[in-house]
Structure 1
Amino acid sequence: MKKHRILKIIGIIVVVLIVIILIGSMYLGKFTTSQFLYINEENDTSTNSVKQLELWGYDLDEFLSTWSRSYIPVTNSDDEIIPMVQFSPEIESKGNAILVHGQGGDHISMAPIAEMYLKNGYTVFAIDLRSAGMSALKEVTFGIKESEDLIYVVDFVNELNSDPIIVHGQSMGAATAALYGAKKHSHNNIDYLILDSSYSSMADMIEGVMLDMGMEKIVVNYSMFYSNVYMRIFKGFEFKDGDVFEAAKKIVTPTLVIQSAYDEIAPIEVGQAIYEYIPLSGYSKDYLLLSSKHVEGIIDFPEKYEEAVFKLIGY
């Protein structure tokens, strides 16, 4: 009887310890998740864009004074605003280019690419992703929710005219474009995809940042596991939803993959893999490798960049 009582007490202690560990693990998952979902909380993305362009020697003032622009708010199904700026060419428009910026910046960071399209007679629609620029949303989901927002942006542009639509993204914007390209909505609603310096997945990006912080691999794995559990329960998505490699396998839209040879954020093998995973052949997909750093191909090799883009588009 005494032995049975001791075993019962031990059992209760074990259960309590397990519950404590699980609760602690969930709090760890919540904390880990908050560190990357709210990465822009104290980040001035608009200033970041301006400073980056200055560092590259790009004349933003000339760009803004040359091309007329107007602000257009697009609303998604949750009544959330997706800020968008339309830039108009000086001639009759040949088509529409939807530009998707990378993490840490806003739509202004896409000015060099916008200029390329505008000079070639395309109307540009440059959006601010979640928690960037004019966006009032707080969470950065590394392309998951952002790719859903693209559905409403594309629908808006399609309602304006029936001209061809290009979705062109850089870095996280490229990942966002790829994730959108995997959705059935893209199959009949856009004409071209340009993926410049995309990373491989949300999980790889988060893991890389944590390892760079000096965290042990086992701690990173544990934290990410419970972060994934937390996101699945409380956010409605998980790391696998941000897998660009898997998304690439579902892309049916003619696509150009642009890779920088000296990219330390999205290494050369990432762009090569994305290109290989896209189930297209012939002129329906192309790959451009430039001897530049992350997203700097348009700055270092503007002519090669432009040539590759319009080779895919056909004019």
Structure 2
Amino acid sequence: MLLLVVLILNALFLYLQKRGSKALGGTAPQIKRDPGLDERTAEFLKLKKETWTIKSKFNDNKLVGWFTENDSDTTVILVHGFAVDHTSLDIHAQLFNHLGYNVLQIDNQAAGQSEGKYMGYGYIESRDLLDWIDELLKHRANDKIILFGASMGAATVMLTSGESLPDNVRAIIEDSGYTSVEDILSYHCQKRYKIKGRVMIKGASMISKFRAGFFYGQADCQKALAKNHVPVLFMHGKNDFTVPIEMEKKLSTCGNFSRMVYDSLGVHIRSYYVDSIKYQKTVENFLARYL
């Protein structure tokens, strides 16, 4: 009986964390973008990019990133979401390039060209983001740094905020992030399968510690933000059914740091697509205040 339980929990772990998992949903919805965004993104993709590689201190996996120079002393590190790769944020990379910043787009573990079997729901990725910050400072020691993350990437930058960061890190922007791994998995269990699933999630967490190196409880964004001192911009869509808007309220009201909040009527990570003028203006105002 014990062996059967372990096998079931291991299967659940693989479903939740293996490369390419669809545990948080399938193909992203096709959303018509505001006029000009596709053209600007296409132009951005033509720009010269340097390929950077590092080795994760967490588990020695090789990680890959792409740096686009823009003759600026500020660089934005973009962290993508669950079961996608850096190209999912090309449109956001275009935005920061358009605003005059350098951009560093990275492939998380178990995504794109980076090595790794298992995704970390923001925890493993937050360890790696610290390595990427160190790598950026080796190349550009005086750069100011902005951390931008979407969905799981948003959880990543929030989890990183609770660490001892170099003074170069001036601002954090999270788009559509969740409160914790346990919360988001429980939400999807109830929404998609009509079960609470907390016990099963706790069990999968134990397998995760053995196979991926972390417990789910280590990925709690509210606890990380309670230790944060970097200004944060919270950006969410009221029609997000992947990460419920209620999570934004919990995130944006904890901790003791400077913050701004932006809401749109967009779906998951698509606010910029349909509300680009206000989205861009909010980002500009936030960075003008805190850089």
Shorter chain as denominator, the TM-score bin is 0.7 to 0.9
Counterpart of 1:295 in 2: which secondary structure? coil
Q: Which of 7, 24, 39 is the equivalent residue of 2:4? A: 24
Judged with a 3 Å threshold, the aligned counterparts in structure 2 of structure 1 residues 209 and 120 are, in CA distance, closer, same or farther, namely same
Judged with a 3 Å threshold, the aligned counterparts in structure 2 of structure 1 residues 275 and 266 are, in CA distance, closer, same or farther, namely same
Counterpart of 1:131 in 2: which secondary structure? coil
Q: Distance in 2 between matches of 1:136 and 1:187?
A: 27
Question: C-alpha offsets along residues 136-170 of structure 1, whole Å, 9 cap, x if unaligned?
Answer: 21101111101000011001111222121000001
1:30 Cα offset (Å): 1.5
Q: Distance in 1 between matches of 2:17 and 2:172?
A: 26
CA contact (8 A) 1:74 1:156 kept: yes
1:247 and 2:224 equivalent? yes
Counterpart of 1:277 in 2: which secondary structure? coil
Judged with a 3 Å threshold, the aligned counterparts in structure 2 of structure 1 residues 210 and 268 are, in CA distance, closer, same or farther, namely closer
Judged with a 3 Å threshold, the aligned counterparts in structure 2 of structure 1 residues 117 and 234 are, in CA distance, closer, same or farther, namely closer
1:177 Cα offset (Å): 0.6
Report the RMSD for the aligned CA atoms in angstroms.
2.3
Question: C-alpha offsets along residues 174-193 of structure 1, whole Å, 9 cap, x if unaligned?
Answer: 00110111112x25341110
Match of 2:64 in 1: 83
Judged with a 3 Å threshold, the aligned counterparts in structure 2 of structure 1 residues 106 and 245 are, in CA distance, closer, same or farther, namely same
Match of 1:285 in 2: 259
Question: C-alpha offsets along residues 66-95 of structure 1, whole Å, 9 cap, x if unaligned?
Answer: x22121112222432111011122xx2131
Match of 1:300 in 2: 274
Question: C-alpha offsets along residues 19-38 of structure 1, whole Å, 9 cap, x if unaligned?
Answer: x3x33322222221111111
Judged with a 3 Å threshold, the aligned counterparts in structure 2 of structure 1 residues 204 and 26 are, in CA distance, closer, same or farther, namely same
1:209 and 2:206 equivalent? no
CA contact (8 A) 1:171 1:295 kept: yes
CA contact (8 A) 2:78 2:105 kept: yes
Q: Which of 189, 207, 210 is the equivalent residue of 1:230? A: 207
CA contact (8 A) 1:25 1:226 kept: no
Q: State the structure with more CA Rg.
A: 1
CA contact (8 A) 2:55 2:63 kept: yes
CA contact (8 A) 1:29 1:225 kept: no
CA contact (8 A) 2:68 2:104 kept: yes
Counterpart of 2:65 in 1: which secondary structure? strand
Q: Distance in 2 between matches of 1:86 and 1:235?
A: 28
> In the alignment, residue 182 of structure 1 is paired with which amino acid?
G
Q: Name segments (4+ residues, structure 1) moved above 4 Å.
A: none
Q: Which of 55, 65, 69 is the equivalent residue of 2:49? A: 69
Question: C-alpha offsets along residues 263-302 of structure 1, whole Å, 9 cap, x if unaligned?
Answer: 111222211211111312xxx2111111211111111122
> In the alignment, residue 135 of structure 1 is paired with which amino acid?
S
Question: C-alpha offsets along residues 36-88 of structure 1, whole Å, 9 cap, x if unaligned?
Answer: 11151699xxxx79x968x64734533312x2212111222243211101112
1:238 Cα offset (Å): 1.0
1:172 Cα offset (Å): 0.7
Q: How does 1:270-281 map to 2 (within 5 A)?
A: 270-280=247-257
CA contact (8 A) 1:199 1:265 kept: no
Q: Distance in 2 between matches of 1:106 and 1:228?
A: 24
Q: Which of 99, 103, 127 is the equivalent residue of 2:106? A: 127
CA contact (8 A) 1:106 1:129 kept: yes
User: TM-score, normalization: structure 2?
Assistant: 0.87
| Count of matched residue positions in the alignment of Structure 1 and Structure 2 | 280
Q: Distance in 1 between matches of 2:250 and 2:190?
A: 23
Q: Which of 85, 89, 95 is the equivalent residue of 2:74? A: 95
Q: Which of 96, 110, 129 is the equivalent residue of 1:150? A: 129
1:136 and 2:115 equivalent? yes
Q: Distance in 2 between matches of 1:222 and 1:75?
A: 35
Q: Which of 240, 246, 254 is the equivalent residue of 1:263? A: 240
Counterpart of 1:58 in 2: which secondary structure? helix
Q: Say which is worse superposed, 206-215 or 110-119, in terms of deviation.
A: 206-215
Match of 1:199 in 2: 178
Match of 1:14 in 2: none
> Please, which runs of 5 or more residues in structure 1 have no aligned partner?
1-19
Counterpart of 1:194 in 2: which secondary structure? strand
Counterpart of 2:134 in 1: which secondary structure? helix
Counterpart of 1:312 in 2: which secondary structure? helix
Query: Higher helix share goes to which structure?
Result: 1
> In the alignment, residue 76 of structure 2 is paired with which amino acid?
A
User: TM-score, normalization: structure 1?
Assistant: 0.81
1:215 Cα offset (Å): 5.4
